Structure 1
Amino acid sequence: MKGYQSLFLLAASALTMASCRNENFLDRFPQSSITEPTFFKNESDLKLYCNQFYTMLPVQRSYQSESGSDNFVPNSQDVFLSGQYIVPVSGGGWSWTNERNLNFFLNRYGKADASSAIKAKYAGEIRFFRAYTYWRKVVQFGDVPWLSKDLNDQSAELYDPKNSHKVVMDSVLADLNYAVENLPLPKDAEAGRLHKYAAAALKARISLWEGTFRKYQALGDEQKFLQEAVSAAELVAGSGLYDIWSTGNPNTDYYNLFIQEELNTNKEAILPMRYLKDILMHNLTRQLGESGTGYSKNFARAFLMKDGLPTKLSPLYKGDNTPDDEAANRDPRYKQLIGTKGFVFQIGATGTKDTINLPRIGTSLAPTGYQVIKGRSPDLAQWNANQSTLDLFIFRYAETLLILAEAKAELGQADQALLDRTVNKIRARVGMPKLTADVAKDPGSDFPALPALLDEIRRERRVELAADGFRMDDLLRWKAGKLIENPETILGMKLTPELRAQYPASQISGVVVDANQYIRIYTSVSARTWNDKMYLYPIPTQELTLNPKLAPQNPGW
């Protein structure tokens, strides 16, 4: 319990620091006349300053996490993917407050009365967060300024031109390497704080993204980052500290992994986000009960059959005329990600069970028919608004193994031994057949030109990491934005007249289907249109006016 208290105090202090922004605390804090004589005196000061950035950690929440991708179909169209996004005058993600505050620390922490190792540890935390925030800037805007100083409104650097994507990402990599080198091992880290393998997990994630982005966007020099992804993932795997969690129940283990109140001792959690009643709680279960979104038809079709074959090759596939047929004989994760017949939505105070019989179309729970249940607990206590105590993942070992498999495959180094210690460890949890290095190509693949093995690794990633928020980043790095044009990415389940007759007319009177009887969420369009300018967001016009050296605007905008 003592470790928990440290963690929750950290989280609470981080939230406190974040809330101070409303009182202009962070606007006042980085002023030498106020802070230089009084702050950064000792380790306590270093820790306190670092705490504010822990709210930036990328916690994986399944609610609306992939509404801007081909996995989810929210009731309201995504503004960006529907072509409705306009160049903003200001805002639009072009904010440098975090970067300024991170640099403020890095330019002053050396003054503290602490050992070199302690100072390097906190510098490692700050450089972890700087790497993360700059990477997100690059994902959104491409070329951006790299700032290594905390600037004020008189700083000449405010009017510098952008640095190239590659230059910024090389600096991001340097920050990640520093963090991996200087953060402590988990056994030596304070509960809830960053450690060596959390930094390596982020390095693996970012390096895979950058390596594949460079490859498929034809920027060149991708080998370095793909190798860095491999080395970082191997560092985590080689620690011996992590494994795929399983109790030997393939039909429930994947679902149950995401409704646990204690991930701190779960070997799949490289870094969990911990929650405790009345100290720090969240609202995920409640949100998933009022989601206003669902998985797309395209996502549902991606699941293999339980024989390891895609639907177009397997004799086990019964078609999709009914929800039962579509779910039959599928990868067990199908029923652990999508609410199907028999799923217990909620257990009442008297023990009564609200159980799904038919997909809850015509409601906010499952507008597409493919209800999102990842992280949805039937426990009534978790339903209370903002009172869920289920732990959430920040970095999960399954993701790291998938990074290792994909990076090695991109390098042409994937063999059966690699698959057995990565993808097949993940598949074993749900009792799926092993992926083999000589796998046959799926004739229905979204990536017809891709080698079959790499194609299947991408499928495994899509299914295992569904609703974790990675999908649009993946489409960007694979230069696969055109997949958004597939009509199935905005369709739901098949609703035949026979199936419609099983519902109360009042519930489904507004449900519209297309010519093939698939649910249409957006009645004004039958498909979306992808424009390659959408690989980047535009720079706000005000920024280009204030600093003409930021020109040109991103392509197409």
Structure 2
Amino acid sequence: MKTIIKYITGLSIVLLLFTACDDLLDKEPISQVTPESYLTDVSHLSAYVIDKYTYIPNSYPNGWIPTDNNTDNQASPGASNVFVPGEYKVPSSGGSWSFGEIRQCNYFLQRVIPKYEAREISGDEVAIRHHIGEMYFLRACVYFSKLQALGDFPIITRELPDDKEILSGATKRQPRNMVARFILANIDTALTYLADASPVVVNKTQINKDVAHHFRSRVALYEGTWLKYHKGTARVPGGPGWPGESEDIQFPSGNIDREIDFFLGEAMKSAKIVADKYALTPNDGGVPQPDNAPVPYPIGQNRYFEMFGDVDMAGYAEVVLWREFKLGVVTNQISRGFQEDNGQVGVTRSAVENFLMEDGKPIYSSSLTYQDDEIGSVRQNRDNRLYLFLKEPGQYNLWINRGDGTHELNPIEDYPWITGAYNGREGRMTTGYALRKFMNPDAAHALNGGSGIGHIVFRAAEAYLNYIEASYEKNGTLDIDALEYWKELRSRAHLPEDPSVTIDATDIFQEAANDWAAYSGGQLLNDKILYNIRRERRSELFSEGFRYEDLKRWRSFDQLEVTPYIVEGFKLWGTMQEWYKENGVSYLKYGSASNDNNVSSPPEAGGSIYLQPHRANTNNRVYNGYKWHKAHYLEPIAVSHFLQSSVDSSVDGSPIYQNPNWLKEADTGAQD
């Protein structure tokens, strides 16, 4: 980070000139505002590239903690517009259709490569080549974000002249599979330039070949499974109602099935490179606590737990790339979020109950007793990942450097605060279940100005999971490598290594009651192996920001069109309701028609025994559950982009086509 900060400071004035507008293709020539001598020294390249690291997926936490908010894993007091038909609308401007970041990448590549080939850049050649490779990788990252949000997208690799006709033509969308192939090609080119390890920073905070292979597996798995599960819809090139032109359909492999096979094979190839090189961080199974806690535990013993909340993540074998924060320089709000209310993003009952029992069987088929009257009992005899990462009242949050923090709100975990502002408290723990993953016990990071806790961007466990899933989706069997990777993940979670223990005990109908991934295209999976591969991914990557995109690529939202989903949390209306009394009188309020309730009703008042955070008051827009439109799998393109690219100033004069089941009319909802 010291190197990065130095580079950014050294050329901060120049970098400030690179502000992006989103008019058409952000067409103002950068060369008119930058000096001719720029990008002629390796330090210039370093500064430019590091400034674009924000393009890497999940490179920055969302201010509080990484989450799977707005999925069946976690929920906030409100809900995303995507689950409220009629409220998710075509915007008049903005959205994901933009080219500023792409243009920043193209500017660099279009100038640096000729200068490099002409030997006009001073500095170490290995470093120069590495920075070129980083920029190809970063362009791939930008395009992946466009692929996930919009599907089909223009492929632009150079700066364009200030000519509206040329610029308008450049906005022609390319089929999504070709965009995905373009992303893989960028990563492949990056690999020819990148060093095995960064020649600038050696603590895993900069892109290298392993990072590129890892990301490549993610992209290929995403597109392969998207094409497989959305095949036969307008969201795949050539599908019924696909808005592109028939002559634009391109399947270099020959047809869509071979295209699916191609991407899954590439995912396997890239994931294996990482999985075979990076060992999983060991887990001894214990939750770190101070010596004076009810259950003493020595710090530095459970490397797996501590990996997610450490300040320096370079020493963990599993970490492939991480983002460094520094107190007083670049900070986040992770520590504050853990003490306060988990950023008001609660863990759902669906997620809690989907974790296996420690005998490797689901809660409904295990010989071990599952009991959810207390949070402590929910954690007992479970997949060790749930035991480690689900908070329990009475556990210590902070115990190192006590008094050094200016925001030491809740050093010992209290009862979940579910009722909103009360008795000096703010916010709420939405579901009653709260997360301990990413926690650091050092109070020096509990500051109003933020913490210096690091953030993992890529870790090898994902590569293990990518290989397992791609292998099974492609071949319909678990090959030797997939089975070995799965055994290693299960062993670290203190589960029986053999996944057949779980597979044989799985009832997909019972799983479907709470797990959206039990569905694809509105149909229950008929493959228990595939379902448990998805379960493993859910458990291992929990709250790391993967769940929403996983559910999209699996097409696991369709069933919400028919059966809206009610979010549930812990079993409030049992023994835990006693936590919410003052002088023997409960301050839980429900059943009032005035919409000033603070919790949902118990069964005797027409509610559920479980807390339903969106059903306290009837004016909550998802009171009747999360609903879905198929159009919501892809974002609508804002109206301004059609007008800016139009040859006759009308939306119909634009070469851009709108995504399926959306209109070219602002403030309109999905049409399916």
- What amino acid is aligned across from residue 452 of structure 1 in structure 2? K
Tell me the CA shift for residue 255 of structure 1.
3.0
Identify the match of residue 173 of structure 2 among 155, 162, 166.
162
1:201-248 CA-to-partner distances (Å, cap 9, x unmatched) read: 11111111111111111142111111111111111133x3x2211253
- Report what 1:127 is aligned to: 136
2:339 maps to 1:282: no
Rounded Cα–Cα distance in structure 1 between residues aligned with 2:564 and 2:394: 29
Q: Is the 8 A contact 1:338 1:370 kept in 2?
A: yes
Where does residue 404 of structure 1 map in the other structure?
467
Separation of aligned partners in 1, 2:265 and 2:125? 30
Matched, 1:248 2:301: no
Q: CA deviation at 1:28?
A: 11
Give the match's secondary structure for 1:86.
coil
Q: TM-score by structure 1 length? A: 0.90
CA contact 2:136–2:186 (8 Å) conserved in 1: yes
Q: 1:12 to 1:441 in 2, by over 3 A?
A: farther
Tell me which of 260, 270, 277 is aligned to 1:232.
270
Relative to 1, partners in 2 of residues 1:36 and 1:148: Cα closer, same or farther, differing over 3 Å?
Answer: farther
Where in structure 2 are there 5+ consecutive unaligned residues? 237-255, 289-301, 421-426, 513-517, 519-523, 590-597, 646-652, 663-672
Letter in 2 for 1:107: Q
State the AA in 1 paired with 2:89. I
Q: Give how far 1:295 is off.
A: 1.2
| Aligned partners of 1:250 and 1:431 also within 8 Å | no
Check whether the contact 1:317–1:326 (CA below 8 A) recurs between aligned residues: no
Report what 1:65 is aligned to. 67
CA distance in 1, matches of 2:476, 2:573: 46
TM-score normalised by length of structure 2: 0.75
Residue aligned with 1:372, SS: coil
The residue aligned with 1:212 is 225
Write the letter of the residue equivalent to 2:59. V
Stretch moving more, 413-422 or 215-224? 413-422
Contact 2:487 2:497 in 1 (8 A): yes
Question: What secondary structure is seen at the aligned counterpart in 2 of 1:394?
Answer: strand
Q: How does 1:485-500 map to 2 (within 5 A)?
A: 490-500=567-577
2:8 and 2:363 mapped to 1: Cα distance?
Answer: 45
Partner secondary structure for residue 75 of structure 2:
coil
Partner of 1:503: 580
Alignment partner, residue 506 of structure 2: 442
> Which structure's residues are more often helix, by fraction?
1
- Per the alignment, residue 78 of structure 2 pairs with 76
**Cα 1:556/1:433, change in 2 over 3 Å:** same
Q: Distance in 1 between matches of 2:9 and 2:573?
A: 51
Change (3 A) 1:11 1:285: farther
Look up the match of 1:456: 532
Work out whether residues 30 and 107 of structure 2, in 8 Å CA contact, stay in contact via their aligned partners in 1. Answer: no
Structure 1: how far apart are the matches of 2:354 and 2:552? 19
Residues in 2 aligned to 1:189 and 1:245: alpha-carbon distance in whole angstroms: 26
Question: Whole-Å Cα distance in 2 between the matches of residues 424 and 463 of structure 1?
Answer: 14
Q: Deviations 1:4-35 (Å, cap 9, x if unpaired)? A: 532553576799877666799xx899533454
Q: Which residue of 2 aligns with 1:533?
A: 631
Matched, 1:349 2:402: yes
Distance 1:152 1:425 in 2: 54
Q: How many angstroms apart in 1 are the aligned matches of 2:635 and 2:499?
A: 39
Aligned partners of 1:251 and 1:333 also within 8 Å: no
Q: Match for residue 446 of structure 2?
A: 383
Query: Distance in 2 between the 1:362 and 1:417 partners?
Result: 50
420-429 or 82-91, which deviates more: 420-429
How far does residue 418 in structure 1 lie from its aligned partner after superposition? 2.6
Q: How does 1:145-160 map to 2 (within 5 A)?
A: 145-151=154-160, 153-160=162-169
Structure 1 residues 443-452 or 91-100, which shifts more?
Answer: 443-452
Partner Cα separation in structure 2 for residue 59 and residue 23 of structure 1: 20
Segment drifting more, 90-99 vs 433-442: 433-442
Q: For 1:90, which of 85, 89, 93 is the aligned residue?
A: 93
RMSD: 3.0
Aligned to 2:554: 478
Distance 1:455 1:32, change over 3 A: same
Is 1:393 matched up with 2:456?
A: yes
Aligned equivalents of 2:487, 2:641: Cα separation in 1? 48
CA distance in 2, matches of 1:29, 1:383: 44
Name the SS for the 2:457 alignment partner. strand
Q: Does the CA-based 8 Å contact 2:71-2:547 persist in structure 1?
A: yes
Amino acid at match of 2:91: P
Identity of aligned residues (%): 25
**CA distance in 1: counterparts of 2:33 and 2:528, whole angstroms:** 61
Name the structure 2 match of 1:6. Answer: 3
Is the contact made by 1:30 and 1:101 (CA closer than 8 Å) also made in structure 2?
A: no
The CA deviation string for residues 168-188 of structure 1, in whole angstroms up to 9 with x for no partner, is: 111111001112232110264
Q: Deviations over 1:356-399 (max 9, x none)?
A: 36433324352201112221333322221233122110111111
Q: Which string of whole-angstrom CA distances, capped at 9 and with x for unpartnered residues, describes residues 240-296 of structure 1?
A: 3x2211253355544322121211121111011122333332222213334112012
Distance 1:32 1:266 in 2: 42
The CA distance in 2 between the partners of 1:462 and 1:16, in whole Å, is: 44
Cα distance between partner residues in 2 of 1:14 and 1:312: 60
**Cα distance 1:555–1:358, how it changes in 2: closer, same or farther (>3 A)?**
same
Alignment check: 8 A CA contact 1:18 1:55 kept:
no
What corresponds to 1:360 in structure 2? 417
How far apart in 2 are the matches of 1:11 and 1:38? 17
CA deviations over 1:80-124 (Å, ceiling 9, x no partner)? 222321110000122210001111112111224248765543221
Task: State the match for 1:516 in structure 2.
Answer: 608
Q: Secondary structure at the match of 1:168?
A: helix
> Structure 1: how far apart are the matches of 2:32 and 2:474?
52
Q: For each residue in 1:406-455, what CA deviation from the matched residue of structure 2 results, as whole angstroms up to 9, or x when unmatched?
A: 11111226437334532222222231211435732621233242422221
The secondary structure found in structure 2 opposite 1:479 is coil
Q: Distance in 2 between matches of 1:501 and 1:139?
A: 45
Tell me the amino acid that sits aligned with residue 433 of structure 1.
P
Q: Is the 8 A contact 1:100 1:151 kept in 2?
A: no
> Aligned partner of 1:346: which letter?
L
Of 430-439 and 97-106, more deviation after overlay is shown by 430-439
Residue of structure 2 equivalent to 1:337: 389
1:298 aligns with 2:350: yes
Deviations 1:150-183 (A, max 9, x none): 2354353421221111221111110011122321
| Counterpart for residue 181 of structure 1 | 192
Q: Kindly indicate whether the alpha-carbon contact (under 8 Å) linking 2:4 and 2:47 is maintained by their aligned counterparts in 1.
A: no
Q: Using the alignment, how far apart are the partners of 2:270 and 2:439 within structure 1?
A: 32
Alignment pair present for 1:199 and 2:212: yes
**Structure 1 residue ranges without an equivalent (≥5):** none
SS in 2 for 1:344: coil
Whether the 8 Å CA contact 1:282–1:387 is kept in 2: the answer is yes
Whole-angstrom distance in 1 between the partners of 2:599 and 2:412: 22
Instruction: Report the more deviating stretch, 97-106 or 188-197.
Output: 188-197
The DSSP-based 3-state class of the residue aligned with 1:105 is: helix
